[in-house]
Structure 1
């Protein structure tokens, strides 16, 4: 019995095989690159097992009384949720410490009557990051973020909703610079 095939079937199987070969090549290339990649977005080396996150301190006037505590806890929570690192009180592979250095309210976007149409709340955090396995990764850097709100509202009215948004963004930026290195 002779098996008959037409050109269409042969071409189809060749294209399918070629596509599979390209996909395999690309997958191998990306999984064997220099950095460790995980689907959570981290590029942490597999030899890093622990992290110490010291309580951040307040080095500025203003802000909620629990700002540094809230910030520290959100930072710890984010690392625990998005990495396999274990929190350790001291002598860890990674260290994060720092202080809140700015809590500022400034007018932005002036109107024709020289009044601010918007006010801006900015929070600044100075961070010291130490990677004991790779000192080239260590740094000291300031992170900041802001949220604008209408002039008709007072800081007391919006502080409860703006501060968590600002903290979340600063935590994300710190994580990206320390664990994801985008």
Structure 2
């Protein structure tokens, strides 16, 4: 009886281990790609946040290196990302009874060119945009700005990851 229990446990464990091997916890599939090239994303928006380009580029690179086994390179990457930040805008979102803004929204838009040199049909050029709302009486500086940028950049980089290697 004990021997049968061990055989059953071993068989189930083996099947589970093999079945789960075809899946990725991140949902990303890099295929045969080994290298990743991410160029600097310059800020070409009419409003400029000085650290945005560097922060966005670094966070995109960090996301790919954390969630894939790709090696970052300076040129000739199997997967190649380039683009620019095209919009950085603050707009009032909701009004109070005395016709003043109760909430503002920071929106950032990034134009991304993705080239998969191994599978050309996966290449694309798309715009990705996301926003963060904050109180109208708060200044978009310090902690408010840092929180908004972190939320927006996290979402933008995840959307880019999903569009390029997760195929969502």
TM-score band w.r.t. shorter chain: 0.7 to 0.9
The number of residue pairs the alignment matches comes to 157
Taking structure 1 as the reference length, the TM-score comes to 0.78
Runs ≥4 in structure 1, deviation > 3 angstroms? Answer: none
Q: Does structure 2 retain, via aligned residues, the 8 Å contact 1:37–1:44?
A: no
Q: Does structure 2 retain, via aligned residues, the 8 Å contact 1:50–1:86?
A: yes
Structure (1 or 2) with the larger CA radius of gyration: 1
1:67-97 Cα deviation digits (max 9, x unpaired): 1011101111111111000001111111001
Q: Does 1:94 align with 2:58?
A: no
* Partners of 2:146 and 2:67 in 1: CA distance: 26
Q: What is the aligned counterpart of 2:120 among 121, 135, 140?
A: 135
SS in structure 2 of the partner of residue 57 of structure 1 = coil
Unaligned residue ranges in structure 1 (runs of 5+): 1-16
Aligned pairs (5 A) from 1:137-176: 137-157=122-142, 158-176=144-162
SS in structure 1 of the partner of residue 48 of structure 2 = coil
Shift, 1:164, TM fit: 1.6
CA RMSD in angstroms comes to: 2.1
SS in structure 2 of the partner of residue 155 of structure 1 = coil
Taking structure 2 as the reference length, the TM-score comes to 0.84
What residue number does 1:5 align with?
A: none
Shift, 1:65, TM fit: 0.7
Unaligned residue ranges in structure 2 (runs of 5+): 1-7
